[in-house]
Structure 1
């Protein structure tokens, strides 16, 4: 709005441009306005339209009094010309002929009021001018608010929105500058502006500006202030109104004029309403940005999920509660020999032909269907599928329902693992094991037959008349070696079968160990003493290979010693790691085992210090038998610290009698 002039008595002065070619009418109008008590009128007269338009372009008038019939313009075109040149200036038509049709056309042409020259009186003229100015002011305010609202709706990009709205506000308020300041993390900072204050240092009133901004933020009320220099001259006039978003004062909207500008309540009202429109636009933009951020995060999460799914070594299918496909990874397509059509319902989920691996029956409801229909979890259902490329595959099919935090079913996830290669390898292994079983049976049968025949000939040779004591000893050693070989073959056969998981059995060591000691003594012809000390309730948990275990350990103690051989076998209970064991010790007075050999004694191929022929399989097999029984085995010095004075083999076997249950 144009600033008002002030008289020496500080009364408002309204600048009037009278466009009238009749001098008598012009004098009459000036005289009527001179009689006005308030406001004061300063009248400028032009007789033609053209010079009047020039003055309107260069000077600021509050109102135009217009005669329609001028030397250079006639009728309502005269009104149109004035309105086009200065649309914000109110126009009052002064005419000699007024009727209802004239009034309608005058308003349509853009005039705010009309007055018959016959009715020109001071009171009626002042009232008509005041009405025209008020109507134009209201029209301009509505127009300004409409422009601001239109700017707010024009874009959802925050910066573009602010630039457009502030430029519109600056134009409508006829100010030199408009700006928006927003609070971020408790700090008020300028977000956008339109226009500048020419010749004024913006930093010259920083402290005053900060004070005014705090005042608006704290009070939530508009502030109108004139900022003066040290000489008292008004350099800037600023109008600030609070920006309220979501019920909170979130910033300040301000307009500034260079120099002095009168405070007008209607401008403050206009600014307040405009701030509401701006706040609405900012809130919409922020909501839009929030939605966009959510969409970006959602897209990022979706991309991350896709990357994870495509790197998993299994096929993945995710559906909603109705069975519509949401996600499916690349490996699933490879597994099915092509990309299955996305499901649109639960009925679409089991279109690929499938049969159960164990029974061969057709699959009626795949796991993901059962998850959606019944809410059940299926793990590792082995099925054979007919792939899209015509081949077949064997897969493990699993699925589970997906529920929201309230337990409501919202979808399901299916996982498929291709085990075709594993099944093929298992079948190949089964064939290889069966072939190996056949060869081992054939070998052991033939070797045992050969050993039996050899043993028979040795028995005949030993009983012949020409066999002296020395030859008998040789023959006995040969027969013992044959018996060892036969026992080793039998043990290998049993260990081979143990790979097929032997059942656990209870074994009474007080029965087993004396029998084994008797067998060993019956085969020896030298000076061998074996003492046994048992315990009450000597039942352990083991397998049918336990006899071979102790035959090997006790037999080794005899075989690898010389001279007078003394062996002590003891059995006693031991609690270790919360488990009841029976501890079996086999101690001998042989050459012993150095420390550097103890740690690797049970490794396949390790033969210790023995010079006896063999493959080093004995103790390796022994350790396997102990492990199969769930026990432990190790070797230590019979006399601690002196390995040369004999060895002690220690075997721990889980107790299986009444003591273990107690």
Structure 2
């Protein structure tokens, strides 16, 4: 225990035990020196000391460890230790207590070495007095406390700055240079300490330099110690930071400390929270708008007593049309008039079922009648529990008026039934048509076909689900013999390109192996907007007709052979006979009564030649061999008049006013038309004959024609002969010999020129006053086309 040493009035010391005095541990083995130290201590003016002296180092170590003295006076020459080893041994356990070494005059150098090892001071025995001792003890304690304060300050600095988990940097406010950083700052920004302290604050702040120094100035003057900035990390990324800054004095200079918090995630969270808040408000507004403007009724009911808490206009109109929303809210669902009838009680049962079983219930078509003011109505009713306490959850009741939908569905069902009946009727009609009919959709899939389609194709045809399936059908174009490609079938062209095809003649290979010929036609089916939605195709089996056509062609070729034989060989024989008869008349002296036999033979031969020529002309017309071109009808009639007035042994007068540039499209056989008509007028009359040729222009059915009338004053043509006059083998109106081909040829030629010909009385009602033959020919344009 330390014993206090105080000055007594009589100058003698009084020992008192105390724990509040400066505790001095004296380590000295010389009793004289111990007493001397006590005397010096009693003479101290300002401090009260307590003293404990020991003689050995080991004892001093034990006391220093247990008692924590405020100062230790250490002699370096002890029984159990001497020299600097004594200092080293005690420093290890002295803790904060300063050590003052006591040494002899000869050992002053040893005292200085002890200070170098850690002692606070040294005193030389024999030269020390109470004043020096007091000063040495007081200064040692003060220095030790200062060092302890500095150490504690350094520890606090490390604790508050270096070791702080918060990001902290030190800045020179005048230059902006970063002077110090802690580990958290280096980890956050990604810089090593040396690299970091070589930066300027402007290097990491995403602001212009002048703005950065404005912030530094305000922080140094304490005008603004809290701000929000963006800092740039070593990888170039930007982070939102919250900065707390203030001045701090380091080595007599003002620095700025900045505590930095990364608020990037917080700011993003705040932005996200604001977005979600806005979105939630929008959803709330949207939900409110949906509820208010929904076309179906929405009602929220209290789960315990079914009091109406919320409703919309649609529900009001359905549940209680005469009540407004204010009156309906607060009423019990069971008290509404609608709930008193059977259907209303079913709605109430649905709501009760939801509260009982805690699950949604839907009734799709609930039928209502008189209680809602209509003859018939259908409602869809759905109810579901809303989130809330386990007992008496609120119920969401939704009511949709399905009357129009149900009635529409019933109408659709009726229409579907009618459509099915129409389809069956159409199928029956198709199956009874003499042609094959197929109906396809836009993709080419055949939806319906008649039974005769399979008959034409020689068996059940493969299913056609798309246009690609037409490759199963084999056909060749009848006129070229080229195979028909799948995309060339008429029904495919109709649905794919909207093409209407009529009368494509195709030779086919039937599915039973036989061959045939069909006429294929197709047209697209369009909707009201004109878009193609399908197509319909028709096939007709013309195999028999095609055979007959081939037979007819062969017969025609054979007839042509006969006509060529007739026109060539017989004409040659007629020419030879005629030449011989003519020579006989000229060279032989034949009596007059016998000459008539020669002349009649010559007339017969001439008639035969005309017959042969007419047959050849008819053949040219039927085979379209005569070339058509522009013919001036006015000049042609003038040529006819000139030639026919030169008839030998007859007085013929033809009245005609010549006109030119009356063009028609015809062949050179057009002259035969008027030669025949005028020639017949001369041939079938006796004595003097007068014929008139009249050429006019007229319109008929929107078309322009030239009308040529050939009138004569001959015996005329009875009415019963007029309709037969242009038929083949029909002879004329007199007994004059003829072959019956003249007027037949006239009709064939006129029709070939797209015209008409007929005969009528020159004087209406009296055929004996002569005939009028009328020929109508279309007017031709300057380009050689007939005008319409």
Which bin holds the TM-score, normalised by the shorter protein? 0.5 to 0.7
Deviations 1:248-306 (A, max 9, x none): 9xxxxxxxxxxxxxxxxxxxxxxxx9xx99x9999998787556434423321321232
3-state DSSP of counterpart to 2:486: coil
Does the Cα contact within 8 Å between 1:584 and 1:651 map onto a contact in 2? yes
Q: Distance in 1 between matches of 2:783 and 2:465?
A: 64
Give the aligned partner of residue 695 of structure 2. Answer: 572
Counting only pairs closer than 5 Å after superposition, residues 641-660 of structure 1 correspond to structure 2 as 643-656=767-780
Q: Distance in 1 between matches of 2:469 and 2:668?
A: 55
| 468 and 306 in structure 1: CA distance in 2 versus 1, 3 angstrom threshold | same
Displacement of 1:362 in angstroms is 2.7
CA shift, 1:483, in A, is 2.0
Relative to structure 1, the CA distance from residue 643 to residue 469 in structure 2 (aligned partners, 3 Å threshold; closer, same or farther) is farther
Residue equivalent to 1:436 = 559
Query: How far does the alpha carbon of each residue in 1:70-123 deviate from its partner, in whole angstroms, 9 at most, with x for none?
Result: xxxxxxxxxxxxxxxxxxxxxxxxxxxxxxxxxxxxxxxxxxxxxxxxxxxxxx
Displacement of 1:534 in angstroms is 3.8
Over alpha carbons, which structure has the higher Rg?
A: 2
Q: Secondary structure at the match of 1:575?
A: strand
Matched residue SS, 1:593 = coil
Alignment of 1:98-117 (within 5 A): none
Q: Give the Cα separation in 2 of the matches to 1:566 and 1:243.
A: 95
1:330 matched residue in structure 2: 451
Instruction: Give the match for residue 316 of structure 1.
Output: 437
User: What is aligned with 1:299?
Assistant: 420
Cα displacement (A) at 1:331: 1.5
Q: Aligned partners of 1:609, 1:410: CA distance in 2, in Å?
A: 63
The reply on whether 1:488 has 2:621 as its aligned counterpart is no
Q: Which segments of 5 or more consecutive residues in structure 2 lack a partner in the other structure?
A: 1-344, 354-360, 382-394
**Deviations for 1:531-551, whole angstroms, at most 9, x for unmatched residues?**
352422154433332233233
Deviation of 1:472 (Å): 5.7
Aligned to 1:425: 548
Which of 436, 451, 454 in structure 1 is aligned with 2:577? 454
Distance, in Å, in 2 between the alignment partners of 1:536 and 1:419 is: 51
| SS across alignment from 2:570 | helix
Offset at residue 330 of structure 1 (A): 0.9
Q: CA deviation at 1:352?
A: 2.1
Determine if the alignment matches structure 1 residue 624 to structure 2 residue 748.
Answer: yes
Equivalent of 2:675 in 551, 556, 559: 551
Give the distance between the partners of 2:767 and 2:403, measured in 1 at CA: 90
TM-score (norm 2): 0.45
Give the secondary-structure state (helix, strand or coil) at the position aligned to 1:342. Answer: coil
Q: Structure 1 residues 489, 290: closer, same or farther in 2, change over 3 A?
A: same
Structure 1 pair 307–243 and aligned structure 2 pair: CA distance change class (3 A): closer
Query: In the superposition, relative to structure 1, how do residues 453 and 514 fare at CA in structure 2: closer, same or farther (>3 Å)?
Result: farther
Query: Is 2:378 aligned against 1:245?
Result: yes
Could you report, residue by residue, the CA deviation over 1:593-619 in whole angstroms, capped at 9, with x for unpaired residues?
344444543344443441223343332
How far apart in 1 are the matches of 2:550 and 2:758?
38
Distance 1:332 1:580, change over 3 A: closer
- In 1, Cα distance between the equivalents of 2:349 and 2:642? 120
For 2:509 and 2:474, the matched residues in 1 are separated by: 5
8 Å CA contact 2:467–2:486 kept in 1: the answer is no
Q: Which of 618, 622, 629 is the equivalent residue of 1:499?
A: 622
CA deviation string 1:530-575 (max 9, x = no partner)? 335242215443333223323322332332233x323334343332
Matches within 5 A, 1:487-636: 487-501=610-624, 502-509=626-633, 511-513=635-637, 515-516=639-640, 524=648, 526-537=649-660, 538-562=662-686, 564-577=687-700, 579-636=703-760
> What is the aligned partner in structure 2 of residue 392 from structure 1?
515
Q: Summarize deviations over 1:326-382 as a string: whole Å, max 9, x none.
A: 222212111221112323444323222333333333333233444455555444443
Structure 2 Cα separation of the partners of residues 407 and 636 of structure 1: 52
Taking the aligned partners of 1:456 and 1:327, their CA distance within structure 2 comes to 75
Q: Distance in 2 between matches of 1:548 and 1:654?
A: 18
By relative contact order (CA 8 Å, sep 6+), the higher-ranking structure is 1
Q: Could you tell me which residue of structure 1 aligns to residue 219 of structure 2?
A: none
**Please, which of 361, 382, 392 is the counterpart of residue 505 of structure 2?**
382
Contact 1:567–1:586, Cα closer than 8 Å, also in 2: no
Note if contact 1:565-1:590 (Cα within 8 Å) is conserved in structure 2: no
Larger deviation: 288-297 or 458-467? 288-297
1:612 aligned counterpart, secondary structure: coil
- Give the Cα–Cα distance (whole angstroms) in 1 for the partners of residues 515 and 710 of structure 2: 58
Name 1:217's counterpart in structure 2.
373
Match of 2:389 in 1: none
Pair 631,547 (structure 1): closer, same or farther in 2 beyond 3 Å: same
Instruction: Mark the CA change 1:534 to 1:628 in structure 2 (over 3 Å): closer, same or farther.
Output: farther
Judged with a 3 Å threshold, the aligned counterparts in structure 2 of structure 1 residues 598 and 361 are, in CA distance, closer, same or farther, namely closer
Render the CA deviation track for 1:464-523: whole Å, top value 9, x for unaligned: 352466766665554344323311221122112211234433334555455555655666
Tell me the distance in 2 between the aligned counterparts of 1:411 and 1:461.
Answer: 82
Distance 1:415 1:602, change over 3 A: closer
Compared with structure 1, are the counterparts of its residues 389 and 448 closer, same or farther at alpha carbon in structure 2 (3 Å cutoff)? same
| Aligned 8 A contact 1:313 1:331 in 2 | yes
SS of residue in 2 equivalent to 1:350: helix
d(CA) in 1 for partners of 2:737, 2:753: 29
Shift, 1:247, TM fit: 9.7
Q: Does 1:361 pair with 2:482?
A: yes
Partner of 2:84: none
Once residues 372 and 634 of structure 1 are traced to their aligned partners in structure 2, the CA distance between those partners, rounded to angstroms, is 48
Give the match for residue 285 of structure 2: none
Distance, in Å, in 2 between the alignment partners of 1:387 and 1:579 is 48
In the TM superposition, residue 389 of structure 1 has moved relative to its aligned partner by 0.8
Distance 1:352 1:553, change over 3 A: closer
**Mapping for residues 150-161 of structure 1, pairs under 5 Å:** none
Q: 1:458 to 1:411 in 2, by over 3 A?
A: same
Q: C-alpha separation between the residues in 1 aligned to 2:646 and 2:599?
A: 11
What is the TM-score of this pair, normalised by structure 1?
A: 0.52
Determine the C-alpha separation between the residues in 2 that align with 1:314 and 1:394. 13
Q: Which runs of 5+ in 1 are unaligned?
A: 1-137, 147-152, 163-179, 184-212, 219-241, 249-272
Deviation at 1:462, TM superposition (A): 2.6
- For the residue of structure 2 that corresponds to 1:449, the secondary structure is helix
CA distance in 1, matches of 2:548, 2:531: 43
Alpha-carbon RMSD: 4.6
